[in-house]
Amino acid sequence: MPLVRIDLVRGRSTEAVKAIAEAVQRSLVDVLKVPERDRFQIVTQHEPDEIVALDAGLGFQRTSGTVIVHIFTQRGRGTEDKQRLYQALASRLAEAGVDGTDLFISYFENGPDDWSFADGRAQYVQGDLPVPGS
């Protein structure tokens, strides 16, 4: 059950934004085996000066097409799965018009007690939902 935040610079068409969001979801479904309807995304568009994403000293130049993807999900996936996810995201987002150097991915893990889907209840803890990977 990932919660995904997608931050990008304002100016893309509605279709392009939808293609980016769909590319992220397809990557999660295909690589992490997330169920199709397990889709929780927040897409936020920013003015060009509101996203600063340098190269961390790696020597490449980002453009105004920067896309930052934050993935919040249950812990338990290995490094190989994460690497495959990063590659899938880069590939699918390239198809949606995002250059690889403009993609920044942040992956956060937490546990079952860190989620409430509705009504102020922890559905994983209370047994309403199976804990992914268990």
The catalytic residues are: 2
Sequence-separated (6 or more) residues with CB below 8 Å from residue 27: 85, 88, 89, 92
Could you tell me how far CA 132 lies from the centroid of its own chain?
Answer: 17
> How many CA atoms does the CB half-sphere of 29 hold within 13 Å?
13
List helix spans (H) across the chain. 14-32, 79-95
In angstroms and rounded to an integer, the radius of gyration of the C-alpha atoms of the chain is 16
Angle formed by the axes of helices 14-32 and 79-95, to 10°?
150
